[in-house]
Amino acid sequence: MAFQKAVKGTILVGGGALATVLGLSQFAHYRRKQMNLAYVKAADCISEPVNREPPSREAQLLTLQNTSEFDILVIGGGATGSGCALDAVTRGQHNDARMNLAIALTAARYGAATANYMEVVSLLKKTDPQTGKVRVSGARCKDVLTGQEFDVRAKCVINATGPFTDSVRKMDDKDAAAICQPSAGVHIVMPGYYSPESMGLLDPATSDGRVIFFLPWQKMTIAGTTDTPTDVTHHPIPSEEDINFILNEV
């Protein structure tokens, strides 16, 4: 089922994210164990296939009574049930920088050639002898630490540059229309005594209609987020306006 497939995919990523928080040196060791553990816990929250009728109130109350701990508890007028935020399976412990590094290091251990501080200067192309079409066959790279340039060729080239997607696409076709709308999300980190270790707060109705959260994060408290259009930069800096917005909301 689509929902169950989505759950499996989400949990696999979430399990890896949780493992990276525990430490890079432990990523390879904990990788499979953490993913399985996360999947089992999430699967426990799914008691009904998505194509059935919603459970009765009695069944929902039974779920509330039998579940030892939820990620989020919403108390308010008109509430009709409870939910499990599957994209928050790591309980606010996601460390994207550490996770990206762990993935790269793990790939290197399995034979991938990886390098940081590298820039793509241009794309290499060649004509396919079978179809006669010109296709991308590699990239001209520059080591920004030494200034050295060299070519890297491949059968398949994947553009995984995130917010820099359009700049790479234009190397292939200078007339390519932009498909990426960069935005900036700001979080602030505060002392850990502002939140319990296993409970967070979600406000779905801020002063401007956005959602804001207040979560425990690595012995600290993290609050956010904003979502504003921005220019693509290697060194994003949070604005005072965004910081003050979060402080005022929390």
Based on the domain organization, do 106 and 168 belong to the same domain?
A: yes
**Among 81-90, 110-119, 182-191, 241-250, which is the least confidently predicted range?**
81-90
End residue of a domain, out of 149, 172, 195: 172
3-state secondary structure the chain: CHHHHHHHHHHHHHHHHHHHHHCHHHHHHHHHHHHHHHHHHHHHCCCCCCCCCCCCHHHHHHHHHHCCCCCCCCCCCCCCCCCCCHHHCCCCCCCHHHHHHHHHHHHHHCCCCCCCCEEEEEEEEEECCCCCCEEEEEEEEEECCCCCEEEEECCCCCCCCHHHHHHHHHHHCCCCCCCCCCEECCEEEECHHHCCCCCCEEECCCCCCCCEEEEEECCEEEEECCCEECCCCCCCCCCHHHHHHHHHHC
The last residue of one of the domains, among 144, 172, 200, is: 172
- Number of domains the chain contains: 2
What pLDDT, on a 0 to 100 scale, did the predictor assign at position 88?
46
Quick one: pLDDT at residue 225?
84
Residue 21 lies in a domain: no
Same domain, 113 and 141: yes
Residues 135, 198: one domain? Answer: no
Query: Within this chain, do residues 119 and 69 fall inside the same structural domain, yes or no?
Result: yes
Domain with 127 in it: 57-172
Q: Are residues 127 and 204 in the same domain?
A: no
CATH number for the domain that contains residue 219: 3.30.9.10
- Over residues 117-122, mean pLDDT: 91
Of the two residues 10 and 78, the one the predictor is more confident about is: 78
CATH value at residue 95: 3.50.50.60
- How high is the mean pLDDT of the chain? 74
Q: Identify which of 88, 54, 61 has the alpha carbon closest to the alpha carbon of residue 72.
A: 88
Is the distance from CB of 188 to CB of 247 less than 8 angstroms? yes
240 and 216 in one domain? yes
Q: Contact 21/44 with Cβ under 8 angstroms?
A: no
Tell me what pLDDT residue 203 has. Answer: 80
Q: What is the pLDDT of residues 212-233, one digit of tens each?
A: 888 888 888 989 888 888 898 8
The answer to whether position 35 is within a domain reads no
Taking the whole predicted model, whether its pTM rises above 0.75 is answered as no
Asked if 74 and 121 sit in the same domain, the reply is: yes
Per-residue model confidence as pLDDT tens digits over 185-215: 899 999 999 888 777 787 877 888 888 888 8
Res 89 pLDDT > 70: no
Higher pLDDT, 217 or 169: 169
More confident residue, 124 or 203: 124
Average pLDDT over residues 233-240: 89
pLDDT at residue 14 greater than cutoff 60: no
Residues 120 and 220 in one domain: no
Look at residue 175 in the predicted model and tell me its pLDDT.
94
Residues 87 and 154 in one domain: yes
> Are 112 and 145 within one domain?
yes
Asked if 144 and 117 count as a contact pair (C-beta separation under 8 A), the reply is yes
Backbone phi, psi, residue 194, to 5°: -80, -15
Contact 7, 50 (CB under 8 A): no
Q: Which of 172, 198, 224 is the last residue of a domain?
A: 172
- Gap between the Cα atoms of 64 and 57, Å rounded: 10
Burial zone of 153 (CB within 10 Å; 0-12 exposed, 13-18 middle, 19+ buried): exposed
- Give yes or no: residues 219 and 146 share one domain: no
